[in-house]
Amino acid sequence: MVCLCAFLLTGCASIGPPTIARDRLDYDHAITTSWKRMMLLNLVKLRYGDTPMFLDVASIINSYTLEAQVNLGATWAASPGWDTGTLGGSGHYADKPTITYNPLLGERFTRA
């Protein structure tokens, strides 16, 4: 019964506000690291006469989903062999980031 109550209460927990501080730092670190690698690659391209290409992260949209479902059923009849019961549960957690890239062109490329 305790496990069932704990499982049901997880559906009431919020995953929104606590994720902001963690995700912001993680995305900042990932973008900074990728920018450094892209800059180094483009410096090597320029050294060997190749055309540099920069992609800018235009937006990051993160979506979280937390779902819980519990099924419980029982059937008892007077006849022998008719005793049945079912117990089930399921959970689903999804983290779906959508990252949009824009190539740096024209004046933005020159400034960057």
Residue that wins the pLDDT comparison between 88 and 34: 34
pLDDT band at 96 (very low <50, low <70, confident <90, very high): confident
Q: Is residue 89 part of a domain?
A: yes
pLDDT over 90 at 1, yes or no: no
Tell whether 8 is covered by a domain.
no
Domain range for 42 is: 18-73+84-111
The model's confidence at residue 40, banded by pLDDT at 50, 70 and 90, is very high
**pTM as predicted:** 0.60
Whether 80 shows a pLDDT value over 90: the answer reads no
First to last CA, the chain: 60
CB 42 within 8 A of CB 90: no
Cβ atoms of 15 and 64 within 8 Å: the answer is yes
Chain position carrying tokens 């800018």 = 56
Q: What is the pLDDT of residue 67?
A: 75
Residue 97 lies in a domain: yes
For the stretch 54-75, pLDDT in tens is 888 999 988 887 777 777 666 6
How many domains is the chain built from?
Answer: 1
| Tally of helices (H runs) and strands (E runs) in the chain | 3, 2
1 or 46, higher pLDDT: 46
Query: In this structure, is residue 48 part of a structural domain?
Result: yes
